[in-house]
Structure 1
Amino acid sequence: MQILFATSEVAPFSKTGGLADVSASLPAALAELGHDVVVVSPLYRSVLQAGHKLNRRRLKIATRVGDKAIQGGVFELRPAPGLSLMFIDQPSLFDREQLYGQDGVDYPDNERRFAFFCRAVLELCRVAGLAPQVIHLNDWQTGPVAALLQSEYRERPELNATGTLMTIHNLGFPGLFPPGAMMTLGLNWDLFTPSGLEYFGKVSFLKAGLVFADQLTTVSPRYAREIQTPAFGCGFEGLLQERAGDLKGILNGVDYDQWDPAHDEHLAARYSLEDLSGKVACKTDLQRLAGLELEHDLPLIGAVSRLTAQKGWDEFIEQAEQLLELPAQWAVLGSGDPALEEGLRALANSHPGRLAFFSGMQEQLAHRLQAGADMLLVPSRYEPCGLNQLYALRYGTIPIVREVGGLADTIDDVAGGEGNGFVFPVGQPQQMVAAVRRALELFADRAAWHRLMQTAMAQDYSWRRPARQYDLLYRQVAGLRQE
């Protein structure tokens, strides 16, 4: 089966979060199952800087965005049998320092940038000779593909039997633009209604996918249930309730070729479930890098996160006085909201040797932090899946998480007797402090902590099971279009 996987970012070429990791790992796992997978993504500046030799295809993509004709090219890389990465080249739109914006502000032409990308995904099928049975869409940047396919491209022979599957990686990013975005996309105004793309007076690129895709998925079973409620539905809960029969939650997986301390080239020392000795060297390495005291017996709590209100870091800063009184060290890596960055930087300056803050998203440092920390804090208010807690399990770094979404699906509290981490409830910020205290108390029992690390590291969250679940859904979607 030929699957076209449309995504706005794909590791290691372009990345702001977990979508990039999924866009690299899931297509590779699908190719191993025998599918012909074509990943399509913009040719950002970072793609050219990634150091891979790309093949410039003699293909020209021509389409209209609003009243302007725009052309683009195609670069390709074939990293494995059955897997192709095609990058859409349009320098005026994608040759930027960042993917979506700078200094916490979105690029003002994101409407045009991703309208062009969505049309380019469909135009690519004709010029590259593709006839996918399924187009897999991801988040708001690709949502309009489903609407464009239905309204304009369905009669093309290469697309007349193509089904669509839309994955919601984060409902909190609806891709909102003024009503004129209908013209930019080239969609009929008849679709600017509450049953179409209209969302509280604006056009939602994400809603285009939610309404028009044949099948919807999100990245954990619990999040699939949560987003059908007012608390987590972001105003889409009514639509998602209507489409509940087409909505399925599939947990993301982990690429253990990239995230496994037994062969992670970024670490000061390797270690494994059978031999944990190298984790001591990794902790010392992180303490030195962070300017923390070199105390092996003092628990080190890490965090790797986008810094947004969703991720709960405002609550961390509010609770910092209590948290930093506890006998533990802290190392936080993240970027995002300038106010949250400044808040964490101020805490690091006022607590030298106790808390270290690294601004930015540095891949190598993320690996070193996962390996060097004893625990990983994930205080998200909502979390569709979360990958960092899954990485932490493999690294023997015990997660402390809020009971939401994929965090609740993957982390069971040790209080139940068979747990792999510490869980605190929604809506009670003080419970974060209580959960950290419980973790520190268990850490003092070295034998019990060692058993907990072994339990965590033995768990398998590889892509094998999710890939098989997507394989089944693809066949269902393709079958719908053949009826």
Structure 2
Amino acid sequence: MLTKIIATSNNKITVATLESIKPKFKSYAGVASEAVDLAKTGGLADAVPPLVKEMHKLGVDSRFFMPLYKQIPRSNAEKMFDIKVRLGGELVPGIVLIGKIPHTDIPAYFIGNDHFFNRDGGLYVDKNKQEYKDSNLRFTFFNRGVYETMIALRWTPDILHAHDWQAALCPALKDQMTIGNPQFKGMKTALSIHNIAFSGKFSRETISIAGFKESDYTPERFEFYDSFSFLKAGVVTSDVVFTVSPHYAKQILNQKNGCGFDGILNVHKEKLFGIVNGKEDSWDPWNDNYLKEKYDSQSVTRGKEENKKHLLKRFNLKYDPAKPVFGFVGRLTWQKGIDIIVESIERLLKEKDAQFILLGTGDERYHYELEMLRNRYPDNLGIALCYDEALSHLIIAGVDFILYPSRDEPCGLVQIFAEGDGTPPVVSEEGGLKDTVKDFDPETGTGTGVVINEVTPDALLEAMGRCMKYFDNKELLLTLRKNGMAEDFSWGKSAIEYVKVFNSLMP
């Protein structure tokens, strides 16, 4: 019988038969509002195309749908056809371009309307950083446009997988779109919630604009605290609901973390699953073209040291092999714990012999505080208040420890990238962090990072003190690094979990 290794950890190999993971479905559509290398604002863009690619690798006819923003490169896309999309009582013209998911031959369909998507601002906000006031119209057009595109293509997927509120009407529209289009009757729908804080909440009139009945405007259906919610419509109507980690799936069932959805999610909890996001091979340190020196678990000590030297040089900081370097890459927001990081940097650099490098943008108050800290500690603190993909790779591989003490983290990717690079993460127990990082026990040599029980400066400093002890014990440090690198967070492994659920929906 054919076999395939799907996970390797601590020298233990988990083996699954290829037959056990063979998809029972023949076709798959991924639907999202953004995608890496096309148009991106956050982690959603990193998560969706890789899953479509993995389905393609498993022999499934896989395709991707997203809006035709102004930011989409037109050089590799061509017009297929015009469509007309019903918004309320009006037929609104649209256009569909076909291209490819970057670096693949997988079809990507871009659904456009110049009024809705050909704008000078961002994907969701205008030039003044204000949310577009017609987002309900924009994404109703997109969701209905997905169906019109499938009708024109004469292609119906066995699985339609929508992501976040911007695509969450796709499951809800299935019943009304099946009228006159019976090919959609057997299609199964899935919704992934990447962050439940974003609900797609709009005025009641959106019900009629999207073509739903007034009877759908109830607490059991689409009404959400006196508004219409795209996300709730998707939760109620989809055949299966995913979140991006098992622990987050449990957390959003309670009032503290459910953002108002805990009630309806508990009603539908039998169809709720948590699957950790994967990482692409381009992040593996032996494949990563952004690194000064590539390495694997056998050459991790030298590889990380060479990247550390290069990183410190980028920030005009002096290299000292006796000094540990801590790092942070991410949004500078309260949710990410940046307030306790800022306070901890001050105390760390004042009391300990260490260095710190930070990359990110966010709340202006933290920009100011970090600039002040750099002025006080110019020899040991490097900051880049921007987004820089190449630099993020170098920092995660080049620092000795990465901080990620989030107060809210559905999945998180930085800690996954860090473990793969042999950079132990310091994390809270929120969401996917709990699923992906295990606290290191120096007695047994097990664990992949350092876990804090509360998000406070004292707890973070205590954890950083533990890190410094591990740094001084090179044998422990090497064990900790190799443990992280042995973890399997590949998209191939995550895709297997999705296939298991999708297979359960098939007749």
Same fold (TM over 0.5): yes
The reply on whether 1:205 has 2:205 as its aligned counterpart is: no
**Which residue in 2 is equivalent to 1:86?**
109
How far apart are 1:178 and its partner, in Å? 2.4
> What residue number does 2:82 align with?
60
2:355 aligned residue (317, 329, 340): 329
- How far apart are the structure 1 equivalents of 2:217 and 2:347? 50
- Measure, in 2, the Cα distance between the counterparts of 1:457 and 1:103: 42
Please report how far the alpha carbon of residue 429 of structure 1 lies from its aligned counterpart in structure 2 after TM superposition: 4.8
Deviation at 1:419, TM superposition (A): 0.6
TM-aligned CA distance change 1:445 to 1:86, over 3 Å:
same
Q: How far did residue 216 of structure 1 move?
A: 0.7
Q: Is the 8 A contact 1:228 1:238 kept in 2?
A: yes
Letter in 1 for 2:297: L
Q: Is the 8 A contact 2:356 2:380 kept in 1?
A: yes
Structure 1 residue 28 and structure 2 residue 53: aligned? Answer: yes
Rounded Cα–Cα distance in structure 2 between residues aligned with 1:249 and 1:342:
38
Cα distance in structure 1, aligned partners of 2:496 and 2:379: 47
Partner of 2:382: 356
Q: What residue identity is the alignment partner of 2:242? A: T
Which stretch of structure 1 is more off in the superposition, 380-389 or 108-117?
108-117
Paired with 1:151 and 1:345, the residues of 2 have a C-alpha distance of: 55
Partner of 2:14: none
Instruction: Give the equivalent residue in structure 1 for 2:370.
Output: 344
* 1:455 equivalenced with 2:483 (yes/no): yes
Change (3 A) 1:344 1:20: same
Query: 2:166 pairs with 132, 141, 144, which one?
Result: 141
After superposing the two structures, state which structure 1 stretch, 72-81 or 131-140, moved more.
Answer: 72-81
How far does residue 213 in structure 1 lie from its aligned partner after superposition?
Answer: 0.8
Shift of 1:430: 2.6
Secondary structure of 2:59 counterpart? coil
1:75 lines up with 2:97 in the alignment? yes
- Structure 1 residues 286, 46: CA separation in 2 closer, same or farther (over 3 Å shift)? farther
- Alpha-carbon separation, structure 1, partners of 2:321 and 2:151: 60
Partner of 1:312: 337
* Paired residues of 2:147 and 2:177 also in contact (CA < 8 A): no
Aligned to 1:446: 474
Equivalent in the alignment of 2:417: 391
Kindly indicate whether the alpha-carbon contact (under 8 Å) linking 2:177 and 2:184 is maintained by their aligned counterparts in 1. Answer: no
Residue by residue over 1:143-191, the C-alpha shift from the partner in whole angstroms, topping out at 9 and shown as x without a partner, is: 1122222344455123121111111111111122222322332322222
- What residue in structure 2 maps to residue 268 of structure 1? 292
Q: Is the 8 A contact 1:126 1:158 kept in 2?
A: no
Greater CA drift, 21-30 or 287-296: 287-296
Percent of aligned pairs with the same residue? 33
How many Å separate the matches in 2 of 1:462 and 1:226?
24
Partner of 2:136, secondary structure, is helix
Alpha-carbon shift at residue 329 of structure 1 (Å): 1.7
Change (3 A) 1:427 1:378: closer
TM-score norm. by structure 1 comes to 0.92
Unaligned runs of 5+ in 2: 1-25
2:433 is equivalent to residue 407 of structure 1: yes
Unaligned runs of 5+ in 1: none
| CA distance 1:60–1:380, change in 2 (3 Å) | same
TM alignment of 1:154-193, pairs within 5 A? 155-193=180-218
Distance 1:82 1:389, change over 3 A: same
| Equivalent residue, structure 1, for 2:303 | 278
State the alpha-carbon separation in 2 of the partners of residues 246 and 3 from structure 1: 19
The corresponding residue for 2:11 is none
- Corresponding letter in the other structure for 1:33: L
Structure 1 match to 2:460:
432
Query: Could you tell me which amino acid in structure 1 is paired with residue 382 of structure 2?
Result: A
* CA distance in 1: counterparts of 2:374 and 2:121, whole angstroms: 28
Q: How many residues align?
A: 475
User: Partners in 2 of 1:85 and 1:350 — Cα distance?
Assistant: 50
Which amino acid in structure 2 is aligned with residue 87 of structure 1?
Answer: F
Any idea what SS the aligned residue of 2:191 has? strand
- For residues 395-444 of structure 1, the C-alpha deviation after alignment (integer angstroms, 9 at most, x for no partner) is 11111000111111111111373011000014545312211121122111
Query: Per the alignment, do residues 345 and 192 of structure 1 end up closer, same or farther by CA in structure 2, a change over 3 Å counting?
Result: farther
Moved more, 21-30 or 103-112: 103-112
- Do residues 291 (structure 1) and 316 (structure 2) align? yes
Q: Partner residue of 1:367?
A: 393
* Partner SS state of residue 174, structure 2: helix
Q: Distance in 1 between matches of 2:43 and 2:332?
A: 14
Q: CA offset at residue 196 of structure 1?
A: 1.9
Equivalent residue runs for 1:103-122 within 5 Å: 104-122=129-147
The answer to whether the 8 Å contact 1:331/1:357 transfers is yes
| Contact preservation (8 Å) 1:56, 1:76 | yes
1:98 corresponds in structure 2 to 122
* Matching residue's letter, 2:505: V
Contact 1:254–1:463, Cα closer than 8 Å, also in 2: yes
Deviation at 1:65, TM superposition (A): 2.8
